[in-house]
């Protein structure tokens, strides 16, 4: 009964748990943070539904709290962007406005964010605000020349500088002291390793998901349910189900070898293995029997 009850409980939390929690909005740290506007790049992917249509048909002209500042097509830049401009694959759209509005474009308009992050690099990204310090090694260098992704395990989503709109690609922006960056960071990002280059201002409430992670989530749930049915039907044991499930997750590229290693609590395994050895020593030496009779 334990396994079916667990599956039912997980399904209940997934589909109905959100409605049971109170909706508490996170207040900004200050008024300036609430008013801060960013420039953010989006890339038009091959699955974008409005390829071959103009901006007006794509409903990108009248957006609440956001406006399309520039469009980049290869080496060409269009500023301002006319409403008759036809959208093509691999176009880069530069939006300006409130970051909470900008991040919603990923869901409502099926645009890819950010344009300069390779697909699948970060499966789960948290969004952090950071200011460039006067001692930063990034000063007066273009973003594309800093090898930012591999150095910090993060990607720059947007840049804010004294309330001014920088009409250029993020990769072409020359970083200066006080620039506020919106960073998408993965699991390997650590604040302490970047404290010299950045002042960390806040961690925003929203997180960005790679669209493929949703499919991986459903695949994981299906495998969990399938393994549970095999155990309930007494076809395989629980240990065999665990092993088969992990193997399938690896084959479907849902988890990586590094993630598996990070999830293993080696100190706990060593403690358990040591306890077996100590127990055997107590039994062979007769100390266990002596303690049992003594007590």
- How many Cβ atoms are within 10 Å of 89's Cβ, its own excluded? 12
Q: Model's pTM, two decimal places?
A: 0.44
What local confidence, expressed as pLDDT, does residue 52 receive?
92
What local confidence, expressed as pLDDT, does residue 95 receive?
79
Q: In what order do the strands lie in the sheet with 92-98?
A: 76-78, 66-73, 92-98, 37-43, 154-160, 180-185, 124-132, 198-209
Q: Which residue ranges of the chain lie beneath pLDDT 70?
A: 1-3, 17-39, 97-104, 106-110, 112-126, 163-168, 186-188, 190-194, 203-214, 262, 295
What local confidence, expressed as pLDDT, does residue 32 receive?
44
What local confidence, expressed as pLDDT, does residue 34 receive?
42
What local confidence, expressed as pLDDT, does residue 87 receive?
93
- Contact call for residues 200 and 163 (beta carbons, < 8 A): no
What local confidence, expressed as pLDDT, does residue 33 receive?
45
Tokens of 15: 């589909």
Nearest CA to 187 out of 247, 255, 126, 142 is that of 126
**CATH superfamily, domain at 27-209:** Regulator of K+ conductance, C-terminal domain (3.30.70.1450)
What local confidence, expressed as pLDDT, does residue 261 receive?
74
pLDDT tens track for 59-79: 887 777 777 878 889 888 887
Return the half-sphere exposure (C-beta side, CA atoms, 13 A cut-off) of residue 5: 2
Kindly list the domain boundaries of the chain, sorted by start residue. Answer: 27-209, 213-278
Cα 88 from Cα 72, distance rounded (Å): 10
Cα 58 from Cα 71, distance rounded (Å): 14
């Amino acid at each position: 009964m334990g396994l079916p009850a667990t599956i039912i409980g997980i399904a209940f939390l997934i589909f109905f748990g959100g409605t049971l929690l109170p909706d508490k909005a996170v207040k900004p740290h200050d008024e300036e943070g609430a008013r801060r506007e960013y420039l953010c790049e989006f890339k038009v992917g091959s699955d974008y539904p409005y390829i071959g249509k103009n901006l007006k048909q794509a409903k990108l002209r009248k957006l609440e709290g956001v406006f399309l500042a520039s469009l980049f097509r290869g080496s060409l830049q269009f500023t301002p962007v006319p409403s008759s401009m036809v959208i093509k694959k691999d176009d880069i759209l530069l939006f300006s406005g409130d970051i909470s509005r900008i991040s919603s474009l990923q869901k409502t308009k099926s645009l890819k964010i950010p344009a300069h992050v390779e697909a699948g690099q970060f499966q789960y990204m948290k969004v952090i605000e950071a200011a460039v310090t006067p001692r930063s090694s990034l000063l007066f260098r273009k973003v594309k020349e800093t090898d930012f992704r591999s150095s910090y395990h993060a990607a720059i989503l947007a840049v804010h500088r004294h309330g001014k709109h920088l009409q250029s690609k993020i990769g072409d922006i020359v970083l200066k002291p006080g620039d506020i960056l919106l960073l998408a960071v993965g699991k390997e990002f650590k604040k302490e390793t970047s404290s010299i280059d950045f002042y960390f201002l806040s961690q925003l409430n929203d997180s960005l998901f790679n669209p493929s992670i949703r499919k991986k989530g459903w695949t994981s749930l299906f495998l969990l349910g399938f393994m549970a049915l095999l155990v309930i039907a007494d076809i395989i044991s629980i240990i065999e189900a665990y092993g088969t499930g992990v193997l399938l997750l690896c084959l479907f590229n849902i988890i990586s070898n590094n993630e598996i290693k990070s999830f293993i609590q080696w100190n706990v395994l060593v403690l358990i293995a040591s306890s077996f050895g100590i127990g055997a020593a107590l039994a062979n030496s007769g100390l266990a029997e002596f303690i049992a009779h003594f007590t």
